[in-house]
Amino acid sequence: MNQALTFSQRTKPARHEGHLTIGCLIFPRMDQIDFTGPFEVLSRTPDATVHVMAKSLALIRDIQGLILTPEIVIADAPRLDVLVVPGGYGQRELMEDGEILSLIREQAESGRMVLSVCTGALLCGAAGILSGRMATTHWASWDLLPCYGAVPTKSRVVVDGNLVSAAGVTAGLDGALVVASLLRGDPAAEEIQLSIEYAPARFFRPDLRIRPRPR
């Protein structure tokens, strides 16, 4: 990634003064940190409620075996100010899922915020909300963004109007901090970052030209 944070020319989301209702989508074979990273940040956002949503209330196993528990089904979800769309290998099975794609599409078309993490951006693309918009995703899926009309942007986090996209996996923490800053102001985001002691140091410098084998 060439930059940490990129803004498009579209108007940024306005500061939100009332109570925030946030929904985090989870699904089988997702990468849990795409959800748990943003959850750690957004659950600390002042005057906010975070709902963990899925297609059913059945327990969900992430790609590495961690068990996640949804608290609400999509059909019963309240009006959301922010929708978090994670990624992971399970995203592939959802690319034609009408319920999930409708959830994403309706959230975006309402003008309310969508935060995609990793290959959650591809679900957003399948929902038809990336056309003509700047976006980022995991580096291994970078070449798929143009298939959905997106403008691929080499940045860890990209803000294009009400769409905030974060790059791969741990970038969801950064994306969620940006969302907290946009909706509650920089001091709130800074306090959250301090409380979770998020100050990553690069101990290693992997060669991103070497791609892992598909699972």
CA atoms within 13 A on the CB side of 209: 0
Say what the pLDDT of residue 29 is.
98
As a whole number, mean pLDDT of residues 125-147 equals: 97
- CB 128: neighbour CB atoms within 10 A? 14
Q: What is the largest CA-CA distance in the chain?
A: 46
Band the pLDDT of 135: cuts 50, 70, 90: very high
pLDDT reported for residue 212: 53
166 neighbors 4 (Cβ within 8 angstroms)? no
Task: Give the 3-state secondary structure of residue 208.
Answer: coil
- In angstroms, how far is CA 93 from the centroid of its own chain? 18
**Distance between CA atoms of residues 178 and 168, nearest Å:** 15
**Exposed/middle/buried for 127, CB within 10 Å: 0-12, 13-18, 19+?**
buried
Do the Cβ atoms of 77 and 103 come closer than 8 Å? yes
Q: Which residues are catalytic?
A: 118
Overall fold of domain 3-195: Rossmann fold (3.40.50)
Structure confidence at residue 214 as a pLDDT band (50, 70, 90) = very low
Rounded to 5°, angle at Cα 100 from 95 and 103: 135
The domain locations on the chain are 3-195
Q: What is the pLDDT of residue 166?
A: 98
Return the amino acid letter for 157. V
**What pLDDT shows up at residue 215?**
42
Q: What share of the chain is helix, strand, coil (3-state, %, to 5)?
A: 35, 20, 45
Confidence check: pLDDT of 169 > 80: yes
The owner of tokens 């003008």 is 111
Q: Are the C-beta atoms of residues 71 and 52 closer than 8 Å to each other?
A: yes
pLDDT tens readout for residues 89-131 = 999 999 999 999 999 999 999 999 999 999 999 999 999 999 9
Mean of pLDDT values over 41-49: 98
Query: Per-residue pLDDT for 177 more than 80?
Result: yes
Angstrom distance (rounded) from CA 44 to CA 175: 14
What predicted TM-score, i.e. pTM, was given to this entire model?
A: 0.94
Name the β-bridge partners of 22. Answer: 50, 82
pLDDT at 160: 98
- According to the model, what pLDDT value does residue 203 have? 80
Counting residues of the chain whose pLDDT is more than 70, the rounded percentage is 95
- Residue 62, Cβ density class (10 Å: 0-12 exposed, 13-18 middle, ≥19 buried): buried
